[in-house]
Every structure is written in structure tokens, then in C-alpha cells.
């Protein structure tokens, strides 16, 4: 339970007196997976190693959290939403930037890299999960005084969106936890394979002044065991899932809001798409390398039968896109690799 303090104990105020603990040199989590060699190597994550990994990640997360408040303060001061939202969504401020948002790295368009932003911290109860067994994943969002937040806005039909993916971008899950009156969220989770998994909580809370603040906070989970990393699939415009084929139209561009359209077919015909999470699909985009979480905005209606989103790629490189869509009451997820020049 020692790791519980990792999130809850973060210095979250934008104070000058913050003292980073742990290693201060930049430690890229992706490096941790492959000390024995890239690609096909098998890395044994024994409990001892996992503890070291946790310690390093804690230091990494703290380092990031320490740098966060400056840009957040700027954003809050500006009070700015940097984009328009489709009807039916709540206007909110994105407290998302983690790198200063200077435009060079898209820091203002990527979130999920920090466990604590703007005074709010993701505090999971448990960060080591067993492989293959269903557990009740529980966490709180706590404010700067360690009080659990209990007031959340419903955005895209839910007050809390929980995304999980392993750090090699496999095993994607999109879940909707429920909240107890004390602010503890819980959801059954089963992680089928060993490795380091990224957990994102995507939500809009109300600050003490009643202002909506949209945040995506992230933390790593550790599943001990044989880690067999998977290479990122090559970029493609078509994805197969279950018995559906999904075709993606549009070219994501760096720094530009770009429309992406997805056409779903089954045996050459278009099935009836059903509304899901306030639109006709839900899209999550994660950046390969640091697993930065992108903000994607859906169109509420279908466009010529296609599900349409607006995406800004903050930097060149590879992204993994996860499209949830619903047919006959069942949700399917199509996955795409997108390479941005
Ligand atoms: Cu969701």
C-alpha cells in the first residue's frame, strides 16, 4: 500500500518550495521496458524490479508534476478554451499542458502525462495488479488539501472516463467507473498481460469557485510477470475488428485541427451505428513514445454516414487511435496507427 502515497502525497500547489524526490534526471518510462534489448526480448518483471520501477516512475511523475503548475496557471489566468465544443458538452478549461505549451511540442494539446495537475491529484488505491485476474480498481481525485473531489460534470454522457493501455499501446480498455458518496471511484478491471500499463482518468470537475475544469490525469500500473512487448503496427487507413471493417479518411497534421472520418462496414454494407457517449463514436488518440493523451472532439451527428472527429496532432511521429462504436447494443473498438509528418 506504500505506493498509494505516490499520488496522494504529491506537492500540488504551484509553490516555489516544492522539493522533488527521487531521481531528478529525466527517466523515460519506455526505457524501463527494454534493458535487455529492444523488440523481441523478454523482460522479467520480478517484484523487486517492479518496486524499483515504481520508485523511478514516482520520481518521474513528481518531476513532471513540479513543472506543471506554471503553464496551468497561465491557462487558468487566460481562462481560455482553445477550441469550440460541440453542442451538448459543457464548456470547460483544459488544464492539460505539461510542458509549457510553447507550441513546439504540443504541450498544450497533450495531457495524461502527469498524476497531478493544477492542484488535483489522481490517487489510486492500488498500483500493482495481478495478471489475468479481475480486481476492483479504486481511486480518488483529491484536491490540494487531500480532500476527495465529489462534484463532476457529465461530459460525453459520463462523469468519469477511464482509459487503460499497456505502454506498448496494446490492451486498450475504455471503462466508466462509478463513484461512492465519499468520492471513491471503482470499476472492475482485468489486465490480461504483464507489463507497465498507463491509466488515464478523463473528467471535468468543479473547482471551489464552481468553475468547470477539464483534466486528464495519468498514472502507471504495474503487472508483474513475463513482459512480451509488441511492436506498434504500421500505419494503415483500414482496421478490422470483430466482423467489421473501419476505413479512416483524413490526414492528421501537426499543429492543425484536422477532420478525421471513420466509415464502418460489415460484409460490404453499412450497419446502423448507434449513439455512444453523446455521439456516434468515441475516439482516443495516444502518442507513441510518451503516451500523451490527445483531446479529440466528436461531431454529434453522422456526416454522410461517417463518424467525424476533430484531431490536432501536437507533434510529428506515431499515434495510436482507438475508435469505439456501437452496433446492436455492442461496443467495438477499431485501432489505427497514424504517422504524422
Ligand atoms: Cu468514456
| Mean pLDDT, the chain, integer | 77
Q: From ligand 1's centre to the CA of 225, what distance in Å?
A: 29
323: nearest Cα among 275, 285, 274:
285
Q: How confident is the model over 43-52, as a mean pLDDT?
A: 44
Ligand 1: distance of its center to the CA of 124 in Å? 18
Q: Which residues contact 291 (CB under 8 A, 6 or more apart)?
A: 112, 113, 165, 167, 169, 198, 218
User: Is this structure's pTM higher than 0.85?
Assistant: no
What's the CA-to-centroid distance between 42 and ligand 1, angstroms? 33
- The CATH number of 238-340 is 2.60.40.10
Supply the DSSP symbol for 5. Answer: H
Scanning the structure block, which residue is given the C-alpha cell 479512416?
A: 248
Q: How many residues does the chain have?
A: 341
Q: How far is CA 24 from the centre of its chain?
A: 24
Q: Ligand 1: distance of its center to the CA of 159 in Å?
A: 8
Q: 23-45 pLDDT, tens per residue? A: 333 333 333 333 333 333 444 44
CB-based contacts of 190, cutoff 8 Å, min separation 6:
132, 133, 134, 135
- Taking the CA atoms of residue 30, residue 35, residue 41 and residue 44 in that order, the dihedral angle to the nearest 10 degrees is -100
- Distance from residue 24's CA to the centre of ligand 1 (Å): 34
Ligand 1 centroid – CA 204 distance (Å)? 12
219: Cβ–Cβ under 8 A, 6 or more apart, which residues? 6, 7, 61, 115, 122, 124, 127, 198, 199
Cα of 16 to ligand 1 centre, how many Å? 36
d(CA 322, CA 86): 20
Instruction: Say how many Å lie between the CA of residue 288 and the centre of ligand 1.
Output: 21
Question: What are the domain boundaries of the chain?
Answer: 4-227, 238-340
pLDDT digits (tens, 9 = 90+) for 118-139: 999 999 999 999 999 999 999 9
pLDDT single digits (tens) 228-253: 999 999 999 999 999 999 999 999 99
Cα 268 to ligand 1 centroid, rounded to whole Å: 29
In this structure, what C-alpha cell is assigned to residue 81?
478554451
The top-level CATH class assigned to 4-227 is: mainly beta
Whole-number Cα distances in Å, 81 to 85, 93, 106, 294: 9, 5, 15, 15
Q: 284-336 pLDDT, tens per residue?
A: 999 999 999 997 888 989 999 999 999 999 999 999 999 999 999 999 999 99
- When pLDDT is cut at 50, 70 and 90, the band that residue 55 belongs to is very low
Q: How is residue 63 written as a grid cell? A: 518531476
Report how far ligand 1's centroid is from the alpha carbon of 214 (Å).
Answer: 14
* Helix (H) or strand (E) segment spanning residue 175: strand 173-175
Fold match, 4-227 / 238-340:
yes
**259 vs 68: which has the higher pLDDT:** 259
**Distance from the alpha carbon of residue 70 to the mean position of ligand 1, in angstroms:** 29
Q: Where are the alpha helices (DSSP H) in 248-298?
A: none
CB atoms within 10 A of CB 114: 28
Q: Which residues of 321-340 are buried (b: 16+ CB within 10 A; e: fewer)?
A: bbbbbbbeeeebbbbbbbeb
Q: Please tell me the distance between residue 48's alpha carbon and the centre of ligand 1 in angstroms.
A: 34
Handedness of CA 80, 82, 85, 89 (dihedral sign): negative
Cα torsion angle, 2, 31, 65, 195, sign: negative
Amino acid at each position: 500500500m506504500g505506493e498509494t502515497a505516490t499520488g496522494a502525497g504529491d506537492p500540488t500547489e504551484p509553490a516555489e518550495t516544492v522539493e522533488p524526490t527521487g531521481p531528478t534526471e529525466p527517466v523515460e518510462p519506455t526505457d524501463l521496458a527494454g534493458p535487455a534489448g529492444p523488440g523481441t526480448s523478454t523482460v522479467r518483471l520480478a517484484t523487486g524490479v517492479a518496486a524499483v520501477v515504481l520508485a523511478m516512475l514516482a520520481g518521474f511523475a513528481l518531476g513532471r508534476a513540479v513543472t506543471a503548475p506554471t503553464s496551468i496557471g497561465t491557462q487558468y489566468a487566460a481562462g481560455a478554451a482553445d477550441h469550440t465544443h460541440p453542442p451538448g458538452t459543457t464548456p470547460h478549461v483544459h488544464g492539460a499542458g505539461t510542458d509549457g505549451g510553447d507550441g513546439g511540442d504540443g504541450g498544450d494539446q497533450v495531457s495524461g502525462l502527469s498524476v497531478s495537475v493544477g492542484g488535483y491529484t489522481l490517487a489510486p488505491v492500488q498500483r500493482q495488479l495481478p495478471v489475468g485476474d479481475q480486481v476492483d480498481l479504486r481511486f480518488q481525485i483529491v484536491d490540494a488539501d487531500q480532500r476527495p473531489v465529489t462534484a463532476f460534470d457529465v461530459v460525453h454522457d459520463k462523469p468519469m472516463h477511464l482509459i487503460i493501455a499497456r505502454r506498448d499501446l496494446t490492451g486498450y480498455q475504455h471503462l466508466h467507473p462509478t463513484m461512492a458518496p465519499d468520492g471513491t471511484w471503482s470499476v472492475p478491471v482485468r489486465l490480461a498481460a504483464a507489463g507497465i500499463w498507463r491509466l488515464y482518468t478523463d473528467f471535468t470537475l468543479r473547482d471551489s469557485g464552481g468553475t468547470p475544469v477539464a483534466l486528464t490525469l495519468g498514472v502507471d500500473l504495474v503487472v508483474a510477470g513475463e513482459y512480451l512487448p509488441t511492436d506498434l503496427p504500421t500505419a494503415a487507413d483500414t482496421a478490422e475488428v470483430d466482423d467489421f471493417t473501419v476505413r479512416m479518411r483524413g490526414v492528421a497534421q501537426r499543429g492543425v485541427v484536422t477532420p478525421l472520418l471513420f466509415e464502418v462496414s460489415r460484409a460490404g454494407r453499412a450497419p446502423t451505428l448507434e449513439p455512444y457517449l453523446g455521439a456516434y463514436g468515441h475516439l482516443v488518440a495516444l502518442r507513441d513514445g510518451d503516451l500523451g493523451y490527445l483531446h479529440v472532439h466528436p461531431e454529434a451527428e453522422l456526416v454522410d454516414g461517417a463518424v467525424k472527429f476533430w484531431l490536432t496532432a501536437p507533434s510529428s511521429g506515431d499515434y495510436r487511435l482507438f475508435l469505439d462504436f456501437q452496433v446492436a447494443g455492442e461496443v467495438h473498438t477499431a485501432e489505427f496507427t497514424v504517422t504524422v509528418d
